[in-house]
Structure 1
Amino acid sequence: MHPILSGGKTRLSTIRHTASLLLAAAGFLAAAPAAHAVPSFARQTGQECAACHIGAYGPQLTPYGVKFKIGGYTDADGKGGKVPLSGMVVASFTRTAKNQDPAPDKSGPNNNHSFDEASVFLAGRLSDKIGAFVQATYDGIGQRTSIDQADVRFAHTTEVAGKETVFGLSVNNNPGVQDPFNSMPVWSFPYTASAVGFGQGGAGTLINGGLEQRVTGVSAYTFWNNMVYAELGTYRSLTPTMQSRLGLGKGEDMGRLGGNTAYWRLAVFQDLKKQAFNAGIFGLNTSLQPDRSTPGSNKFNDLGVDASYQFLGTREHVATVNTSYIRERQTRNQLVATEGADNLKGRLNEFKLNASYHYMQTWGATVGRFVTHGTADATLYSDGFANGSPNTSGYILQADWTPWGKENSWGAPWANVRLGAQYTMYNKYNGAKTNYDGNGRDAKDNNTLFLFAWTSF
């Protein structure tokens, strides 16, 4: 969790009457099931999973997948009787280079076999212009069920200046979950990771999971000439009572978002048939009052750039490169006033780069680099950090096998599975290469082998 968010609390607000109706719809759908890379999309469109997803599985979207999402998840093969429901199960084995002390909650110090999660999805077309991707998940580690990612959207296609143009609205619960290029932090590599491992350090930008599921937002977007994408939206925090009803728990309430919260996105996209690319910028500006009962807030200004390239060819050999950089400026009024930080101003930056190769949409290999660095603060980054520094960096290697998800696959379009081996190596963790926690633990001690089975149906 973002250090500035820990120990905080939240609030739900409506925006306009029309938006209120969509928010209510999202709340209703959250009580039921939804997903990405789920078979209900394939059943709806009559397409193989590989038509939308690189490697026939996971969040990396092909040009067709990008347009399907922008179109509100509504594209269909014209045949009736499709039920937009799917399920997903993830199980894994995690081994770290050195035993964890203390052991992760409800797990052993090492060699952990985990039933990570089971999800149910309402994913697909609800009407000609409305579609949904809403997920409810049982967390096998935390042993509770709650709302997960959610995106309900309306899309209408028309012409502007003689060019095809899509106008749409999205109601969602995580800034970036609605992004059509799936290059925002919520969808970035690694697409699945150990729930009992070390992640990418103890500090992260607000847009990188800091508001996940504990907010509701409405954004308007447009996609002009299959090339230019623009989006503008706002978010409000859920009340502790609503968080409890959605299974999130009041105790982890992050606080109340300011009424001036703004999310924006601008990107250029090109589908060249045998290759494709997109490049863009995005931002999140907000303030957060950690304690609802006490005045005082902290301000966040997140600005990011990202780009992706895909070589698609004949789909026998597929290669991709994805990168992003996020710069967060913090103004810590509340933290300084409550002696939770030394410095009023601070920065936190995140860089990610990964490249993947897939053969026959079945055999895949990915290598990734991640770097988090920011200004030191001895009080904010104290327990578990060295030198008052949030800096973490490392590499991720993954090999995976996805036997199904193609047109003539067994069980198509119902059966999908990915088996993978992932290894994370740390150069630095929470501020240091050696003895980062003051108890003799080195960054390399956190190196993690993660074996996973990820299936959907």
Structure 2
Amino acid sequence: MTSRLKPLFSLPRATFRAGAFLVATLTAFGAGMQSAYALPSFARQTGQDCAACHVGAYGPQLTPYGVRFKIGGYTDTDGKPDKLAVSAMMVAAVTHTGKEQADPPTAHTHRNNNVTIDEASLFLAGRLADNVGAFVQATYDGVEQSSALDHADVRVVHSMEVAGKDTVFGISANNNPGVQDPFNTMPVWGFPYTGPAVGFGGGDATTLINGGLEHRVMGASAYAFWDNSLYAELGTYRSLSPSVQSRTGQGRADDMGRLGGGTSYWRLAWMQDWKKQAFTAGLFGLSASIQPDRLSSGPTNKYRDVGVDASYQFLGTRKHIGTIYTSYIRERQTRGDLFANGDADKLKGNLNEFRINASYYYDQTWGVSMGRFATRGNRDATLYGDGYANGSPDTSGTVLQADWTPLGKEDSWGAPWANLRLGLQYTMFDKFNGARRNYDGSGRDAKDNNTLFLFAWTSF
């Protein structure tokens, strides 16, 4: 679905320019050389092994300690000097789909059985000053053979007591709604934590908060974390100009258009850390409108996303760890530009995404995970035309994963510099883009998109 979308709260233009300059300056450190992850720079800074912050010793899945570290602006430290806030990461993969694709995914890949370097990244990640920290990623995409600014989250934090309880106040400047979120239920940090670049990980229709503004906006949000329990955040975003998008490697061709002056992002969550167990529950939302042609007048597409989420972790003695995460997002669309230009039959519609996944890890080393995903939406024969069946965006399936993490614990070789996860992932589709069979009108079934993904994921 082509996004054609106006924001709610508007920060002064100078504020956004200052924030954009800050992120660009920090990113320049890595862009000249060339998704939070378990980064060795964090481990070196805190003096902790990666298993202290990350379930299974690797990946974005955070323990309660990891949640507090991120909310604290990546600034926690063991007090020792000379910490290098730089890390690198690479993901290599072999990908096989149930049936070869009609055309290669890119000019540098095959219709099937691809061996790829999916990404190689450099990070500026960690404490920059007493109350300032950053997570800035520059990535070389081995599939597209291009480099770009990836996730960026720069924070300023301050701690004080409120009503006799420890409270962290922070400001985040970032380039993707949700990238600053510390809980693993929103799309940007949700399961699967890595996935196929040349296979299939979901359907073609997604909500706006699920990557619709990714890396093409600049935002600022203010948040508070009270008594290690209550988290609240409010922010706003502005679209980057096509020239800035080009300079940061995003390219002009996929420019989404101009965000209006009232885009709002908000988040409420409650966390309980019982040491051997942890629980979170929350609400989140994104409200935006976009003018695709960047005109000062004319129809816009409006999106109102509201989500509910929850998670549970059994941590025990860290020998046996079990987790479960779930989220539901409901998006209300007013397709003013799409409808006016004949790209949609209906002015209004809904798109809903449901996710649930569970993981088990033994000794922070051996892991198995299973996830279920489902996207449902109103039918629209024009909006969901080519590549869809019955004018429907509906897609559903299951993801299975087994992985081995030999490096990343305190007694691992190369700790805390070396991290490695080897994994086998299989995605099975019940329905794809509206149908089980012949969804594209050319005889391709949903099961033909089943994807086997063998990966090696390392950071140092």
- Give the TM interval when normalised to the shorter protein: over 0.9
Corresponding residue of 1:75? 76
Q: Please list, as runs of the form range in 1=range in 2, the aligned pairs for 1:249-288 lying within 5 A after superposition.
A: 249-288=251-290
- Per the alignment, residue 27 of structure 1 pairs with 24
Q: Which letter maps to 1:44?
A: Q
- Decide whether the 8 Å contact of 2:119 with 2:139 is kept in 1: yes
**Map of 2:87 onto structure 1:** 86
Match of 1:385 in 2: 388
Corresponding position of 2:59: 58
Name the CA distance, whole Å, in 1 between partners of 2:263 and 2:200. 30
The Cα offsets for residues 272-314 of structure 1, whole Å up to 9 and x where unpaired, read as 0000011000000110111114722100000000111000000
Which residue of the other structure, out of 142, 148, 171, is the alignment partner of 1:169?
171
Q: Is the 8 A contact 2:64 2:278 kept in 1?
A: yes
- Displacement, 1:181? 1.2
Question: CA offset at residue 104 of structure 1?
Answer: 1.4
CA distance in 2, matches of 1:23, 1:67: 26
Shift of 1:183: 2.0
In 1, the alpha carbon distance for the partners of 2:341 and 2:414 equals 58
CA distance in 2, matches of 1:82, 1:432: 53
Residues 32, 136 of structure 1: 8 Å contact kept? no
Structure 2 counterpart of 1:49, which letter?
Answer: C
1:401-412 matches, within 5 Å, as 401-412=404-415
2:439 match: secondary structure: coil
Q: Does the 8 Å CA contact 1:36/1:133 hold for their aligned counterparts? A: no
Gaps of 5+ in 2: none
Please give the alpha-carbon distance, in whole angstroms, between the structure 2 residues aligned to 1:319 and 1:35: 20
Distance 2:392 2:113 in 1: 30
- CA distance in 1 between partners of 2:13 and 2:76 (Å): 28
- 1:16 Cα deviation from its structure 2 partner: 6.5
Distance 1:239 1:157 in 2: 35
Q: 1:334 aligns with which of 334, 337, 341?
A: 337
Deviation at 1:373, TM superposition (A): 0.5
- Look up the SS of the partner of 2:91 in the other structure: strand
* Aligned mates of 1:224, 1:17 — CA distance in 2: 30
Tell me which of 453, 456, 459 is aligned to 1:453.
456
Matched-pair contact (CA < 8 Å) for 2:150–2:215: yes
Shift of 1:32: 2.1
| Structure 2 partner of 1:300 | 303
The structure 2 residue matched to 1:15, chosen from 12, 25, 30, is: 12
1:184-210 CA-to-partner distances (Å, cap 9, x unmatched) read 100000111110112210100000000
Q: Deviations over 1:73-111 (max 9, x none)?
A: 000010001110000011000011111112211211111
Q: How far apart are the structure 2 equivalents of 1:346 and 1:394? A: 23
Q: What is the CA distance between 1:351 and its match in structure 2?
A: 0.3
Amino acid at match of 2:174: N
The one-letter amino acid of 1:87's match is A
195, 205, 208: which one aligns with 1:193: 195
* Partner in structure 2 of residue 153 of structure 1: 155
Quote the Cα distance in structure 1 between the aligned partners of 2:437 and 2:243: 43
Q: What TM-score comes out, normalization by structure 1 length?
A: 0.97
| SS class of match (1:25) | helix
Cα RMSD for the two superposed structures: 1.6
Length, aligned pairs only: 452
In structure 2, what is the Cα distance between the partners aligned to 1:120 and 1:309?
Answer: 32
2:398 to 395, 399, 403: 395
Partners in 2 of 1:410 and 1:151 — Cα distance? 30
Aligned to 1:38: 39
Question: CA offsets per residue over residues 123-151 of structure 1, 9 Å max, x none?
Answer: 00000000000000000011110000010
* SS state at 2:407 partner: coil
User: 8 Å contact 2:11–2:236 — kept in the other structure?
Assistant: no
Q: 1:35 & 1:427 partners in 2: Cα distance?
A: 31
- After superposition, what is the alpha-carbon deviation per residue over 1:209-252, rounded to whole angstroms, capped at 9, x for unaligned? 00000000000000001110000000000000000110111111
State the distance in 1 between where 2:117 and 2:376 align. 32
Contact persistence 2:401–2:425 (CA under 8 A): yes
- For residues 199 and 407 of structure 2, what CA distance do their matches in structure 1 show? 28
Letter in 2 for 1:5: S
Moved more, 348-357 or 16-25: 16-25
Indicate if the aligned counterparts of 2:89 and 2:459 stay in contact, CA closer than 8 A: yes
Which residue identity is paired with 2:179?
V
Q: Amino acid of the residue matched to residue 339 of structure 1? A: G
Superposed displacement of residue 316, structure 1: 0.1
**Are the equivalent residues in 2 in contact too, given 1:9–1:240 (CA < 8 A)?**
no
Q: Which residue of 1 aligns with 2:226?
A: 224
Code of the residue aligned with 1:438 in structure 2: it is G
Q: State the alpha-carbon separation in 1 of the partners of residues 12 and 354 from structure 2.
A: 33
Letter in structure 2 aligned against 1:311? F
2:207 matched to which residue of 1?
Answer: 205
Per-residue deviation, residues 343-378 of structure 1 (Å, max 9, x unmatched): 000000000000000000000000000000000000
Structure 1 stretches lacking a partner, 5+ long:
none
- Where does residue 114 of structure 2 map in the other structure? 112
Q: Distance in 1 between matches of 2:265 and 2:191?
A: 22
Aligned match of 1:371: 374
- Report the equivalent of 2:361: 358
Deviation at 1:35, TM superposition (A): 5.2
What SS class does the counterpart of residue 403 from structure 1 fall into? strand
Task: Give 1:22 deviation, angstroms.
Answer: 3.5
Distance 2:234 2:29 in 1: 28
What's the offset of the Cα at 1:21? 3.2
